[in-house]
Chain A
């Protein structure tokens, strides 16, 4: 095939000077390293001050909701990994929980314990990743290295469990695919011990650091009213003084049994959000420590027993004819949930992750709408950025913890 000359006109050069009214239009992204993915920001600058900001998204759009309508429920589950790919188990869980509520089953206790362990490990990896990249954006290089070192341990634990480091697919509709490997809980408690010490060190480096405080304090103030209006959830909401965490307020899974606190900050700024994230990691480790004895005291069943929706255990499939037949039907035709609509939200590391499933009774969902928290955390940039300095843009983007896999879906 003949090589074609690229006919793209130099239309979106990275910087576009327009000398009207002495303001300058800067095109930030979509390939900017601090944009944490494919975010394009059109910034109108007056000197170094931002007058107007227009965030543009859609560069990572893969049409997941369309794909979902053309997939069986079990087929769609690995696709959810690719939404918030920093904490993919939390997407798996959100989807699996929504389908479970729709078909009216509950995962067995051991599965629920393993799921919660994975969710909280994912919260740790996500928060550590946030800390590392955010600090790097602001200029603290060493934190990036330390936080990634500890994140690696958590990734290793997840890898030991499900074999994957990024796209876990570690949760199934109705339970989990396998039990924890030998010695896994010991490694988990060792990790919790290490991280407890390390988080103090991170805080020692950052919390009272003059530069860190200057860059974060009073930057990106989201008042409670704005947060509510823009549908902010997760830390962005809690740092605005509203104590709202779905794990506590509308609990699901094992969370009612677990003892943990919800950190809140009243400052509404980036620094408050940073404090919340750090405290939340400590709370997560509290949860993980409580989960280990719960795991040991649970029955070994891993998948719920619901023959019309969920395949039997491997042993049954291999030995019993009827189980094999049901498994065959479930794999080739898929499960047929009842007709109805359901909205199930879970607290992912980024905020409220909701799955709205409209089922018409066929094996393919009629509609799935994913409520991804980052979508509105990006939208809010439109209102948040004006009035700030150009250098604050990276602080605010990094601080809001947006992931483009789930914004564009």
Chain B
């Protein structure tokens, strides 16, 4: 039977899990524990609906409805003095909850505090752009769209930013394999040489550590040398392939033969290696 692989989650998994190991959770404390945050959350609650809030790793996390994101961030910037939006992106929870968590990482240079606004959207739902509030969202939302396929509305130029415009699928989704899908394997071949060259060139190998034992044009094995391009796919290797330097009498360097000619039958190193 073929081994089961979860197509919904192509991420690498640990090969061993201790059944009795209970994973700890970073401690979460109530927002009222910190003076500044307590005041902020009270003020924010009066303005938008706050679903959940807590302090994790000394940072206030606030969950709001996805429809309120612009409202919440405008309020945070204008009234609560969170004057920087540092980062925004999505977290893929398609497998568990069929959607994305969007986070907005904000910073207040007046209060020396960070605050994370989070909201949840379903896979095909749309998200309002915050570009009108913070211009940095222009590129961040493009990146989010590029990597996760989150549709952002009211963005003036929602195009892919890091991947090519005609790329298929969204690379940072958990469903996307690390080495790319089948479309990715043929992307450059099709683009540069045309589809008719697929047979000649073959799919692109994106695993850089891949070694093909039978490929004698790109890989060599020490002690088992074969001539360049010999077909050994049937497993039969030539009995003996002479290995000698191309220059007769050794390699010439600085006008002298500094590297002696290799005598296979007398080489101790080669003998040992075999």
A318 at interface (Cβ–Cβ under 8 A)? no
A343 at interface (Cβ–Cβ under 8 A)? yes
Q: How far is the CB of A127 from chain B (nearest CB, A)?
A: 23
Chain A residues closer than 8 Å to B129, beta-carbon distance? none
The distance in angstroms between the C-alpha atoms of A69 and B148, with both chains bound, is: 14
Q: If the complex has contacts A70-B12, A249-B109, are A61 and B162 also in contact, measured as CB distance less than 8 A?
A: yes
A342 near B57 with CB under 8 A, answer yes
| CB nearest neighbor in A for B178 | A70
Contact among A356, A383, A408 for B87, CB-based, below 8 A: A356
Chain B residues closer than 8 Å to A8, beta-carbon distance? 192
B25 at interface (Cβ–Cβ under 8 A)? yes
Chain B residues closer than 8 Å to A383, beta-carbon distance? 135
B171 near A66 with CB under 8 A, answer yes
A57 at interface (Cβ–Cβ under 8 A)? yes
The distance in angstroms between the C-alpha atoms of A292 and B16, with both chains bound, is: 45
Chain B residues closer than 8 Å to A408, beta-carbon distance? 162
What's the interface size class on B, roughly? 35 or more
B172 at interface (Cβ–Cβ under 8 A)? yes
* Interface residues of B, dominant DSSP: loop
A58 near B162 with CB under 8 A, answer yes
Q: How far is the CB of A376 from chain B (nearest CB, A)?
A: 5
The distance in angstroms between the C-alpha atoms of A308 and B160, with both chains bound, is: 41
A52 at interface (Cβ–Cβ under 8 A)? no
Contact among B89, B164, B200 for A2, CB-based, below 8 A: B200
Q: Residue-by-residue, is B249-262 near A (CB-CB < 8 Å gives 1, otherwise 0)?
A: 00000000000000
B225 at interface (Cβ–Cβ under 8 A)? no
Chain B residues closer than 8 Å to A375, beta-carbon distance? 139
Chain B residues closer than 8 Å to A339, beta-carbon distance? 23-26
The distance in angstroms between the C-alpha atoms of A355 and B267, with both chains bound, is: 54
B84 at interface (Cβ–Cβ under 8 A)? yes
Q: How far is the CB of B104 from chain A (nearest CB, A)?
A: 11
A148 at interface (Cβ–Cβ under 8 A)? no
The distance in angstroms between the C-alpha atoms of A7 and B163, with both chains bound, is: 21
B105 near A356 with CB under 8 A, answer yes
A272 at interface (Cβ–Cβ under 8 A)? no
What's the interface size class on A, roughly? 35 or more
Q: How far is the CB of A70 from chain B (nearest CB, A)?
A: 4
Chain B, range 99-140, C-beta contacts under 8 Å to A: 103, 105, 109, 112, 114, 116, 134-136, 138-139
Chain B residues closer than 8 Å to A57, beta-carbon distance? 161-162
The distance in angstroms between the C-alpha atoms of A403 and B135, with both chains bound, is: 21
The distance in angstroms between the C-alpha atoms of A6 and B85, with both chains bound, is: 45
Stretch in A213-221, A227-235, A274-282 with 4+ CB within 8 Å of B: A227-235
Chain A residues closer than 8 Å to B14, beta-carbon distance? 333-334, 362-364
Which of A61, A228, A363 has the largest count of B CB atoms less than 10 A from its CB? A228
Contact among A58, A66, A340 for B172, CB-based, below 8 A: A66
B134 near A229 with CB under 8 A, answer yes
Chain B residues closer than 8 Å to A1, beta-carbon distance? 200-201, 217
Chain A, range 333-380, C-beta contacts under 8 Å to B: 333-334, 336, 338-343, 345, 352, 354, 356, 358, 361-364, 366-367, 369, 371, 375-376, 378-380
B200 near A228 with CB under 8 A, answer no
The distance in angstroms between the C-alpha atoms of A266 and B213, with both chains bound, is: 63
Q: How far is the CB of A368 from chain B (nearest CB, A)?
A: 10
A204 at interface (Cβ–Cβ under 8 A)? no
Chain A, range 42-67, C-beta contacts under 8 Å to B: 57-58, 61, 63, 65-67
List 11 additional contacts besides A4-B200, A341-B26, A367-B91; criterion CB under 8 Å.
A57-B162, A58-B164, A67-B178, A102-B57, A230-B135, A339-B25, A340-B25, A340-B57, A371-B105, A379-B135, A380-B135
What are 16 sample pairs from A and B whose C-beta atoms fall under 8 A apart?
A: A4-B200, A58-B164, A65-B172, A66-B172, A229-B135, A231-B86, A244-B109, A333-B16, A334-B14, A341-B116, A354-B105, A356-B89, A362-B13, A364-B11, A379-B138, A380-B135
> When A and B form their complex, which 5 residue pairs have the shortest distance between CB atoms, in order from nearest?
A340-B26, A361-B23, A231-B136, A58-B162, A379-B139
